[in-house]
Structure 1
């Protein structure tokens, strides 16, 4: 029994060491701490944590909005010429030569080719509770981020020899 406890403790320590080696910029942060002090090191460590938290939130939001659309099948394209619409016909793809200024404006305003891409809200097919889904996932990702922040602020700082 004692042998299993030692083996479990060793495997936990090895796993912890392996995870610490995978942390990005760990050596750089250690060097910053050695040159400029622990306060500066903790500041950059916080920035690293916030960057990783932002990446996690972005990946979660992208997965939760794109995954249901991809599972439903091919998304709809722009409306055809014969489609009757209260707004009339609209072709998001401009014909002929388009200037760089127009392309940049379309990119920043979400017009043109972006209107029928997954980045645009109107791209998604009508689903019964799409707006509620967006709000729930935004709330869920915010809650997950809050839990990570609380966990980081409550967790004891690792002791470095």
Structure 2
């Protein structure tokens, strides 16, 4: 009754007194004011007619005008502050969504082609993030120490590493051509992209062994990639288990009644999705029909072989009615 009264926005004698007929306390009045504000906030989502919504809004606003003055202004300011904070948190959450790379384009793809197609691009974005992390690890632990070692090297080290870190003069003429760069030759051949760029000497004396760091970092990035993929697969498996356990039990019903993707906002994509659902249903029915036909063919073969075997044996004088009257 209380919830129904709150949504209808009634403002009768019960809003002035409690069940015992006593005036409302400050806490009860604040609670009812909060309920009226929730009614106004959720009014747009109610499946009511426009006349009922207007009447409810008018009654709720009238109640607030009559009773908000009875509450202290400090509490009203605190309520307004909490409301502003909730709006700020919601705006910040929306802003964080815009900061996610390619989120808007993926949502646009989802609205045109559905969540199945957009999941592919979400996976590609995750792969990019993993590759960025691997690149940062290699740069921080291998490329940067090697570059610093070359910058602080003496003349002897430069002479030893010159042949594999500096491009020769005869190759420098064509080093910036597109055909050369396309085959990772020219300047790229003498860059940190390749294994031959790195030396087998230690950096900072005996404190940072570069050859060992190169080997351990390579092992680490392979292990990181493996465990990152396993973790992502486990998370997706948990989500699919929570959301798809019942769908795996009643595949046909779920496909018929809940197979629609409500994120689609394009007419052509909606038509294609309808045809895709119809094709899936036709495929399921075709599989069932083929299984029934195969069963009937197997039963027919068994009946024919059984009849042939019985026709080759002598007619028994004793037996049931079918045995005595079968065709020899």
With normalisation by structure 1, the TM-score equals 0.59
Unaligned runs of 5+ in 1: 1-9, 81-90
Bigger proportion of residues as helix: 2
Aligned-pair distance for 1:123?
A: 4.0
Unaligned runs of 5+ in 2: 1-85, 241-262, 264-328
Cα distance in 2 for partners of 1:113, 1:36 equals: 40
Aligned partner of 2:124 in structure 1 is 47
Aligned-pair distance for 1:151?
A: 3.2
Aligned partner of 2:173 in structure 1 is 98
Residues 1:25 and 2:102 aligned together = yes
Aligned alpha-carbon RMSD (Å): 4.2
Q: Secondary structure at the match of 2:118?
A: helix
Change (3 A) 1:71 1:13: farther
Aligned partner of 1:5 in structure 2 is none
Aligned partner of 2:138 in structure 1 is 61
Change (3 A) 1:102 1:45: closer
Moved more, 137-146 or 25-34: 137-146
Q: Secondary structure at the match of 2:138?
A: helix
Q: Is the 8 A contact 1:92 1:113 kept in 2?
A: no
Cα distance in 2 for partners of 1:57, 1:123 equals: 19
Q: Is the 8 A contact 2:175 2:181 kept in 1?
A: no
Aligned-pair distance for 1:63?
A: 1.9
The alignment of Structure 1 onto Structure 2 pairs a total of residues equal to: 139
Q: Secondary structure at the match of 1:77?
A: helix
Aligned partner of 1:34 in structure 2 is 111
Cα distance in 1 for partners of 2:105, 2:188 equals: 42
Residues 1:147 and 2:236 aligned together = no
Cα distance in 2 for partners of 1:152, 1:12 equals: 28
Tell me which structure has the larger Cα radius of gyration.
Answer: 2
With normalisation by structure 2, the TM-score equals 0.33
Q: Secondary structure at the match of 2:101?
A: coil
Cα distance in 2 for partners of 1:109, 1:53 equals: 24
Change (3 A) 1:99 1:144: closer
- Spell out, residue by residue over 1:138-161, the C-alpha distance to the aligned partner (whole angstroms, 9 max, x if none): 12122222333233331548xxx9
- Spell out, residue by residue over 1:77-136, the C-alpha distance to the aligned partner (whole angstroms, 9 max, x if none): 3459xxxxxxxxxx8522598346999558846567853x44454444413854432221
Greater relative contact order (CA < 8 Å, ≥ 6 in sequence): 1
